[in-house]
């Protein structure tokens, strides 16, 4: 059992040879955190890493004691993990150790997505009870350590054990105390169309926070933070990754204290949050995941990728290779009918596409984005015979059929809004703010979830639908749960998320064979919480290959390639107007769940032939693209080129991609050092596109890693320099 309790020192050690978390009950019965990070000997005791004696902060204000569940107001002036207002209005807590249980496996979190085990032997969990009888509060800290993964998962359960009403103001999923500095913070931030660009900066005394108050994780910040030593790079050095399995308002914050200690906290954003706990009631926080590595950022990403792909994603599609899709959106937007779609489908099948997806515009009278959300019935003007014959026609072409939905939204111009205006979020007597001409349904109300389960369920069972793109195109304004009592609106945002998760749970359970992809105007709700229901996400509405380099590079820090939706679109690109070669667009989209986002009827013969080749190439290597180990080599941010690679688990195959962003004259010879190959293996290296495999070379893994792969800076056939936006892949296979 990788959790050890040492009674004489009251020490709890979670260990698996990959990382250690050492907790201890301090003299005042608070739960101390003595160490987190590098694996330590499970036989030893580490009480000396904490305060020699700790009797509370009474006379020693500001002492840098590491605590597992820090609270405010009794001498620790750093950011708290738990703030609970009591009947007398005070919020000081004295959470004393009251016992613990160690169990094999990992219990589920009630109503919330979480990581899981398939067999209890994969993990061990400790539930540590803390109690404050004066406040009438009991807290159970739940921490799981996984066999052979450098990760732990943590959440808290709160219970009102008293007789008065408690109000939870802050309940963080994670709180981590690090005893020394300096640290850099690496986060993933941006906006619509340029999501998840990495930003790294040294932590300075004081706080640095990212978060969301939009009701969704948002385009602005990913709910993940990496904490790195200044010298840590992709392959070397110590670092932590913290990531929240949640899709709503969140806060991820670092606080460097006066003694250079660093505290990180992550959880539901406390701003505007207030959860009432009546006597006997409980509250469970979302789960936070922490990974540690001494081998650089790449190892942190590898740990998260494997963990999220294997033990966060669920259902039959977790392990299935994902189909190559063509999505109708950028091809025809709202302008289609059955015949037109069928023509598109025919042209798609001819290219080798496996899944034809009908995006927005098939329901109500939706010829534009000002109408019909909520009216989930087929628009008979466009599809006179409904969805079933269209799906059947698509299937007859040898493809499967997929459909777009946006269940959480309602248009003011819709039958649903006319019948149930009270189901749209808003404050009676105040004007509702519209965004994209739509309002958000109040999923904090159980009857709204029930209605959507039936409405969307009817659609999904009305035809052979094997894929669903679940979109969400605006954030919440005028937050207000009309069914909540006046003093409980601080619960609204979280209740919205609980309702949304419940809808996801019901629909994914009822349609277990459907492949779900989450979307929120691209990457506006791409987070670990959604990954628990939908194993892939539409990464960004920006489909330009060059923009996508930065977006996918950033996303790859946290998310596996099997979750990163990436499509080839037409040029000039619809978001930035850039013209890039078709091969480059494919070479970027290969590194994700591959597909197309264009009207295949508009392609010329040469392009069609080229695309057939691209699809054949992806099919041949799909396994390694979707399941291989992804390695970042050269960042596209700020440079003239970029490179990354994927390696098969047995290291006998790898695909390296080099992208030239801007071509410069008189470039020096360029060698790209590869990683994670087998040094003793000789690889046959062939370039794609062209020259033919006959022209491939043989290179040792040792050489490719130590000296590098010589990049081909011009077309080998013509000798013409590869210009701006060129891409070349190198396929390595053990010879």
CB of 523 to ligand DGJ, least distance (A): 9
CB of 431 to ligand DGJ, least distance (A): 24
At what angle are helices 338-351 and 387-396 packed, to 10 degrees?
A: 20
Pick from 249, 262, 473, 500 the residue near ligand DGJ by CB under 6 A. Answer: 473
Q: Which is nearer to ligand DGJ, 393 or 597 (CB)?
A: 597
CB of 382 to ligand DGJ, least distance (A): 15
Listed in sequence order, the residues at least 6 apart from 469 whose beta carbon sits closer than 8 Å to its beta carbon are 327, 357, 359, 402, 403, 404, 405, 517, 519, 538
- Give the residue closest to ligand DGJ by C-beta: 360
Q: Which is nearer to ligand DGJ, 116 or 538 (CB)?
A: 538
Should residue 379 be labelled a site residue for ligand DGJ when binding is judged by CB under 6 A? no
CB of 418 to ligand DGJ, least distance (A): 22
Q: Which is nearer to ligand DGJ, 109 or 357 (CB)?
A: 357
CB of 593 to ligand DGJ, least distance (A): 14
* Token pair belonging to 412: 């003011």
Should residue 357 be labelled a site residue for ligand DGJ when binding is judged by CB under 6 A? no
* Alpha helices by DSSP H, 284-328: 296-311
Stretch that binds ligand DGJ, among 81-89, 519-527, 559-567, 645-653 (CB under 6 A): 519-527
What's the alpha-carbon Rg for the chain, to the nearest Å? Answer: 27
Q: Are 153 and 30 in contact (CB under 8 A)?
A: no
Should residue 329 be labelled a site residue for ligand DGJ when binding is judged by CB under 6 A? yes
> Rounded to whole angstroms, how far apart are CA atoms 271 and 169?
8
Should residue 519 be labelled a site residue for ligand DGJ when binding is judged by CB under 6 A? yes
Q: Which is nearer to ligand DGJ, 155 or 536 (CB)?
A: 536
- Region of 6 on the Ramachandran plot (φ > 0 left; ψ -120 to 50 alpha; else beta): beta
Should residue 190 be labelled a site residue for ligand DGJ when binding is judged by CB under 6 A? no
Should residue 522 be labelled a site residue for ligand DGJ when binding is judged by CB under 6 A? yes
CB of 14 to ligand DGJ, least distance (A): 40
Q: Which is nearer to ligand DGJ, 247 or 473 (CB)?
A: 473
Whole-angstrom CA distances from 96 to 55, 61, 133, 546 are 12, 19, 9, 54
- Region of 361 on the Ramachandran plot (φ > 0 left; ψ -120 to 50 alpha; else beta): left
> Rounded to whole angstroms, how far apart are CA atoms 441 and 423?
6
Stretch that binds ligand DGJ, among 25-33, 207-215, 229-237, 515-523 (CB under 6 A): 515-523
The interface with ligand DGJ within residues 54-93 (CB under 6 A) comprises none
CB of 542 to ligand DGJ, least distance (A): 10
What is residue 652's three-state secondary structure? coil
Pick from 76, 255, 541, 547 the residue near ligand DGJ by CB under 6 A. Answer: 541
Should residue 140 be labelled a site residue for ligand DGJ when binding is judged by CB under 6 A? no
The interface with ligand DGJ within residues 386-425 (CB under 6 A) comprises 404
Pick from 471, 547, 599, 722 the residue near ligand DGJ by CB under 6 A. Answer: 471
> Rounded to whole angstroms, how far apart are CA atoms 520 and 533?
15
What is residue 366's three-state secondary structure? coil
> Rounded to whole angstroms, how far apart are CA atoms 365 and 342?
20
Q: Which is nearer to ligand DGJ, 227 or 514 (CB)?
A: 514
CB of 574 to ligand DGJ, least distance (A): 11
Q: Which is nearer to ligand DGJ, 26 or 564 (CB)?
A: 564
* Cα dihedral 91, 95, 101, 106 sign: positive
CB of 519 to ligand DGJ, least distance (A): 5
Q: Are 389 and 343 in contact (CB under 8 A)?
A: no
Residues catalogued as catalytic:
471, 541
> Rounded to whole angstroms, how far apart are CA atoms 130 and 266?
20
Q: Which is nearer to ligand DGJ, 525 or 634 (CB)?
A: 525
Stretch that binds ligand DGJ, among 172-180, 455-463, 517-525, 570-578 (CB under 6 A): 517-525
- Give the total residue count for the chain: 735
Closest of 245, 246, 247, 200 to residue 226, by C-alpha: 200
Stretch that binds ligand DGJ, among 60-68, 293-301, 516-524, 555-563 (CB under 6 A): 516-524
Q: Which is nearer to ligand DGJ, 251 or 332 (CB)?
A: 332
The interface with ligand DGJ within residues 434-453 (CB under 6 A) comprises none
> Rounded to whole angstroms, how far apart are CA atoms 240 and 255?
15
Phi, psi at 80, each rounded to 5°: -85, 160
The count of residues interacting with ligand DGJ (CB under 6 A) is: 11
Provide the CA 431 distance to its chain's centre, in angstroms: 34
- Please count the other Cβ atoms lying within 10 Å of the Cβ belonging to residue 283: 19
Should residue 359 be labelled a site residue for ligand DGJ when binding is judged by CB under 6 A? yes
> Rounded to whole angstroms, how far apart are CA atoms 138 and 135?
9
Pick from 76, 94, 360, 375 the residue near ligand DGJ by CB under 6 A. Answer: 360
State the number of CA atoms in the 13 A half-sphere of 712 facing the CB: 24
> Rounded to whole angstroms, how far apart are CA atoms 171 and 275?
10
Cα Dmax for the chain: 83
Stretch that binds ligand DGJ, among 249-257, 259-267, 447-455, 514-522 (CB under 6 A): 514-522
* Token pair belonging to 227: 């904490």
Stretch that binds ligand DGJ, among 110-118, 518-526, 564-572, 574-582 (CB under 6 A): 518-526
Pick from 307, 511, 538, 618 the residue near ligand DGJ by CB under 6 A. Answer: 538
Cα end-to-end span (Å), the chain:
43
Q: Are 699 and 693 in contact (CB under 8 A)?
A: no
Q: What is the 3-state secondary structure (H, E, C) of 594-625?
A: EEEECCHHHCCHHHHHHHHHHHHHHHHHHHHH
CB of 708 to ligand DGJ, least distance (A): 38
* Alpha helices by DSSP H, 474-604: 492-510, 528-531, 545-555, 582-589
> Rounded to whole angstroms, how far apart are CA atoms 91 and 89?
7
> Rounded to whole angstroms, how far apart are CA atoms 676 and 197?
25
Q: Which is nearer to ligand DGJ, 287 or 359 (CB)?
A: 359
> Rounded to whole angstroms, how far apart are CA atoms 15 and 474?
43
CB of 74 to ligand DGJ, least distance (A): 48
At what angle are helices 545-555 and 582-589 packed, to 10 degrees?
A: 10
Should residue 138 be labelled a site residue for ligand DGJ when binding is judged by CB under 6 A? no
Should residue 521 be labelled a site residue for ligand DGJ when binding is judged by CB under 6 A? yes
CB of 546 to ligand DGJ, least distance (A): 19
Should residue 599 be labelled a site residue for ligand DGJ when binding is judged by CB under 6 A? no
| Bond prior to 182 in cis (omega within 30° of 0) | yes
Q: Which is nearer to ligand DGJ, 136 or 402 (CB)?
A: 402
The interface with ligand DGJ within residues 255-274 (CB under 6 A) comprises none
* Token pair belonging to 406: 């946006």
Q: Which is nearer to ligand DGJ, 284 or 539 (CB)?
A: 539
Q: Which is nearer to ligand DGJ, 232 or 413 (CB)?
A: 413
CB of 28 to ligand DGJ, least distance (A): 52
Residues of this chain that interact with ligand DGJ (CB under 6 A) are: 329, 359-360, 404, 471, 473, 519, 521-522, 538, 541
């Amino acid at each position: 059992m990788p959790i050890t309790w040492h009674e004489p020192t009251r020490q709890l050690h979670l260990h698996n040879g990959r990382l250690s978390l050492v907790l201890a009950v301090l003299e005042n019965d608070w739960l101390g955190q003595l160490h987190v990070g590098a694996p330590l000997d499970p036989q030893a005791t580490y009480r000396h890493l904490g305060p020699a004696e700790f009797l509370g902060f009474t006379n020693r204000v500001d002492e840098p004691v590491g605590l597992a569940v820090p609270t405010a107001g009794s001498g620790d002036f750093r950011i708290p993990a738990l703030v609970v207002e009591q009947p007398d209005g005070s919020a000081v807590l004295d959470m004393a150790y009251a016992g613990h249980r160690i169990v094999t496996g990992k219990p589920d979190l009630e109503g919330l997505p979480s990581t899981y085990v398939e067999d209890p032997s994969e993990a061990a969990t400790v539930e540590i009870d803390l109690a404050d009888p004066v406040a009438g509060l009991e807290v159970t800290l739940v921490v799981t350590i996984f066999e052979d993964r450098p990760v732990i998962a943590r959440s808290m359960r709160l219970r009102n054990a008293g007789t008065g009403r408690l109000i939870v103001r802050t309940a963080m999923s994670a709180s981590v105390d690090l005893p020394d500095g300096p640290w850099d913070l690496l986060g993933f931030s941006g906006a619509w169309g340029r999501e998840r660009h990495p930003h790294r900066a040294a932590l300075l005394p004081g706080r640095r926070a990212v978060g969301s108050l939009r009701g969704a994780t948002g385009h602005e910040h990913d709910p993940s933070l990496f904490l790195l030593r200044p010298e840590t790079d992709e392959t070397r050095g110590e670092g932590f990754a913290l990531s929240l399995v949640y899709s709503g308002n969140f806060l991820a914050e670092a606080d460097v204290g006066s003694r250079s200690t660093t505290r990180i906290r992550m959880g539901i954003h406390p701003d505007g949050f207030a959860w009432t706990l009546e006597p006997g009631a409980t509250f469970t926080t979302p789960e936070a995941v922490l990974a540690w590595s001494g081998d650089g950022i790449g190892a942190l990403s590898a740990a998260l990728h494997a963990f999220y792909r294997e033990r966060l994603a669920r259902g039959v599609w977790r392990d299935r290779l994902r189909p190559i899709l063509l999505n109708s959106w950028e091809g025809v937007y709202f302008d289609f009918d059955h015949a037109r779609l069928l023509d598109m489908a025919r042209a798609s099948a001819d290219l080798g596409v496996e899944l034809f997806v009908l995006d927005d515009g098939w329901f109500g009278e939706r010829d534009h984005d000002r109408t019909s959300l909520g009216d989930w019935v087929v628009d008979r003007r466009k599809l006179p015979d409904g969805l079933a014959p269209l799906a059947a026609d698509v299937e007859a072409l040898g493809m499967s059929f997929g459909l777009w939905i946006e269940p959480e939204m309602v248009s003011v111009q819709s039958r649903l809004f006319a019948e149930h205006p009270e189901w749209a979020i808003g404050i009676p007597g105040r004007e509702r703010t519209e965004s994209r001409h739509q309002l958000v349904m109040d999923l904090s109300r159980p009857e709204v979830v029930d209605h959507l389960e039936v409405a969307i369920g009817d659609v999904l069972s009305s035809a052979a639908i094997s894929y669903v793109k679940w979109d969400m195109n605006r954030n919440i304004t005028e937050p207000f749960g009309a069914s909540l009592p006046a003093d409980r609106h601080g619960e609204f945002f979280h209740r919205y998320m609980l309702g949304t998760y419940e809808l996801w749970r019901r629909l994914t359970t009822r349609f277990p064979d459907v492949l779900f992809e989450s979307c929120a105007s691209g990457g506006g709700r791409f987070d670990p919480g959604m990954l628990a229901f939908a194993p892939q996400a539409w990464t960004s509405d920006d489909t330009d290959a060059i923009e996508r380099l930065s977006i996918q590079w950033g996303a790859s820090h946290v998310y596996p390639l099997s979750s990163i939706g990436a499509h080839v679109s037409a040029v000039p690109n619809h978001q930035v107007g850039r013209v890039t070669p078709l091969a480059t667009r494919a070479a970027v989209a290969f590194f994700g769940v591959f597909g197309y986002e264009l009207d295949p009827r508009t392609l010329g013969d040469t392009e069609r032939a080229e695309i057939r080749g691209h699809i054949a190439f992806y099919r041949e290597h799909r396994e390694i693209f979707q399941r291989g180990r992804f390695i970042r080599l050269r960042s596209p941010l700020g440079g003239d080129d970029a490179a990354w690679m994927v390696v098969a688990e047995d290291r006998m195959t790898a695909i390296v991609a080099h992208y030239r962003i801007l071509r410069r004259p008189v470039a020096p010879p360029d060698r790209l050092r590869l990683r994670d190959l087998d040094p003793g293996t000789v690889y046959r290296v062939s370039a794609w596109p062209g020259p033919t495999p006959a022209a491939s070379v043989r290179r040792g893994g040792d050489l490719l890693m130590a000296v590098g792969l010589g990049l081909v800076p011009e077309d080998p056939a013509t000798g013409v320099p590869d210009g701006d936006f060129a891409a070349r892949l190198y396929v390595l296979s053990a010879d």
